[in-house]
């Protein structure tokens, strides 16, 4: 089973491997996990994450302890049916949890993306290869990383990583960029091509000989997503660790919709974080400008208007994200032409959601600076990270394409592409 990520962040090569700290959760237990129980358990962890986000970014300090704490609470079991050993709940519950994590620290939410994508595949596909094994790993609290992205010089999505038969197994060689969450994970998933051109998915433990994780991600934002390069040097894999990658026979080929909804939820969390920062600054730091009619910034009508607009943007992002989660939930359990029609509609809904969530986050992050004067731009406050983070997430997949695909669907009934970006 694989957890494929899509993205177009910029990264630079580095020769330095990382002394990573894989997030190994506590041993599995017989606890009956619930959505409400997990949300209650992670609440204080998210408070810590939010309080330390600014300082961590300034110091380039990864949140290993807090991510480990989230893993120990089995966050990825939200949305997996109780009969499968999950916590139950819907895609709305999953999306709301992701949004809450992103509100605390969008880099952490992004780093957990592959883990939640893996859980979503388990929850939505009974025919998933190695489903029972993957479910057991999720029950154990393991985290996943993955990427299909390469810098081979070919078109985006081209696979240059090779898989070759070697004895009773295979050997994989290549390099995967933007391996989001790689430093936190226990498992890495990717894609490789054999001599005949067949693309296989693979999943291996991150401590397998030949797997090298680099801390070389260098974007303007989302700097602590652990999205560095994963090098694969003569990595041996067994038959049961690979599966042919072919979605052409699926009733609903739009398997990337949840992956894109996840990015929109991160954007919505960033918009909410911008609102939190604006409220805090106005209450605790801001002073009215000289010609203001107010004695305190909280009473200034223009500050109030600005905070109100930030709140409206954050609300819009949250609303469309949860709506899309409900639409995507409705695809589950359908088969045949009904599944295809519903899948296409959901993919378009998610694309439209991405447009609104991105623009809402960018606007909210910009408006934050209008609630204060020059001091709000002080680097020690770190308020610029909201815009930088929103901008970096937005560059995963251009929103112009999302809007154009949605327009084509409404005008002519043209299905969205099945590339995983919709």
Tell me the per-residue pLDDT of 89-147, one tens digit each, with 9 for 90 and over.
999 999 999 999 999 999 999 999 999 999 999 999 998 889 999 999 999 999 999 88
In this prediction, residues 321-335 reach a mean pLDDT of 97
pLDDT band at 8 (very low <50, low <70, confident <90, very high): very low
Indicate the average pLDDT of the chain. 91
Tokens of 147: 């990427």
Contact (Cβ atoms closer than 8 angstroms) between residue 182 and residue 11? no
What are the structural domains, with CATH classification, of the chain?
1-245 (2.40.110.10), 257-412 (1.20.140.10)
CA distances from 278 to 134, 303, 366, 383 (A): 41, 10, 11, 9
**Cα gap 117→76, rounded to integer Å:** 9
DSSP string for residues in 259-318: HHHHHHHHHHHHHHHHHHHHHHHHHHT----TT-S-SSGGG-HHHHHHHHHHHHHHHHHH
Q: How much is the pLDDT for 294?
A: 86
Give the separation between CA 109 and CA 75, rounded to whole angstroms: 11
Alpha carbon distance 5, 146 (integer Å)? 6
- 346-364 pLDDT tens trace: 999 999 999 999 999 999 9
DSSP single-letter state for residue 186: S
Contact 8, 397 (CB under 8 A): yes
Residue 295 reports pLDDT greater than 50: yes
Total number of residues shown for the chain: 422
Q: Which residues contact 29 (CB under 8 A, 6 or more apart)?
A: none
Residue partners of 206: CB distance under 8 A and separation at least 6: 20, 22, 145, 182, 185, 186, 187, 188, 213
- The three-class DSSP label of residue 3 is coil
Q: So what's the pLDDT on residue 153? A: 57
Cα–Cα distance list, 120 to 189, 303, 373 (Å): 15, 41, 44
Q: Is the Cβ–Cβ distance between 136 and 82 less than 8 Å? A: no
Retrieve residue 162's tokens.
């090779």
pLDDT band at 318 (very low <50, low <70, confident <90, very high): very high
Q: For residues 388 and 110, what is the distance between their CA atoms, to the nearest angstrom?
A: 14
| 21-30, 214-223, 378-387: range with lowest mean pLDDT | 21-30
What is the pLDDT confidence band of residue 278, given thresholds at 50, 70 and 90? very high
Look at residue 28 in the predicted model and tell me its pLDDT: 47
pLDDT digits 0-9 by tens, 361-373: 999 999 999 999 9
First vs last Cα of the chain: how many Å apart?
Answer: 21
With DSSP H G I counted as helix, E B as strand and the rest as coil, what are the percentages for the chain, rounded to 5?
Answer: 50, 10, 40
Q: Phi and psi (nearest 5°) for 204? A: -135, 155
């Amino acid at each position: 089973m694989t957890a494929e990520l899509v993205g177009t962040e910029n990264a630079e090569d580095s020769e330095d491997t990382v002394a990573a700290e894989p997030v190994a959760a506590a041993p599995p237990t017989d606890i009956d996990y619930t959505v409400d129980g997990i949300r209650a358990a992670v609440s204080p962890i998210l408070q810590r994450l939010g309080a330390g986000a600014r300082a961590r970014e300034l110091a380039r300090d990864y949140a290993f302890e807090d991510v480990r704490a989230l893993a120990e609470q089995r966050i990825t079991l939200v949305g997996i049916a109780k009969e499968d050993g999950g916590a139950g709940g819907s895609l709305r519950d999953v999306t709301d949890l992701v949004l809450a994590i992103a509100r605390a620290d969008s880099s952490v939410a992004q780093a957990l993306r592959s883990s939640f994508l893996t859980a979503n595949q388990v929850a939505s596909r009974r025919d998933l290869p190695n489903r029972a094994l993957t479910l057991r790993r999720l029950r154990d609290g393991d985290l996943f990383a993955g990427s299909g992205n390469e810098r081979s010089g070919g078109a985006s999505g081209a696979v240059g990583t090779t898989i070759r038969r070697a004895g009773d197994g295979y050997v994989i060689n290549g390099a995967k960029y933007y391996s989001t969450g790689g430093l936190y994970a226990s498992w890495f998933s990717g894609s490789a091509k054999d001599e005949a051109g067949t693309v296989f998915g693979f999943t291996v433990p991150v401590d397998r000989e030949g797997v090298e994780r680099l801390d070389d991600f260098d974007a303007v934002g989302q700097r602590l997503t652990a999205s560095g390069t994963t090098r694969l040097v003569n990595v041996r894999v067994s038959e049961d660790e690979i599966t042919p990658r072919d979605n052409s026979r699926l009733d609903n080929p739009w398997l990337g919709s949840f992956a894109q909804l996840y990015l929109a939820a991160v954007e919505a969390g960033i918009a909410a974080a911008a609102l939190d920062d604006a409220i805090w600054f106005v209450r605790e730091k801001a002073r009215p400008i000289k010609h203001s009619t107010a004695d305190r910034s909280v009473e200034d009508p223009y500050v109030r208007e600005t905070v109100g607009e930030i709140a409206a943007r954050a609300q819009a992002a949250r609303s469309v994200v949860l709506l899309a989660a409900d639409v995507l939930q409705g695809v589950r359990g359908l088969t045949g032409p009904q599944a295809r029609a519903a899948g296409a509609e959901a993919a378009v809904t998610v694309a439209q959601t991405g447009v609104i969530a991105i623009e809402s986050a960018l606007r909210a992050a910009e408006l934050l600076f209008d609630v204060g004067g020059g001091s709000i731009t002080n680097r020690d406050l770190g308020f610029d990270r909201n815009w930088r983070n929103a901008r970096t997430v937005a560059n995963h997949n251009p929103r112009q394409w999302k809007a154009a695909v949605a327009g084509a669907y409404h005008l002519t009934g043209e299905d969205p592409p099945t590339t995983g970006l919709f």
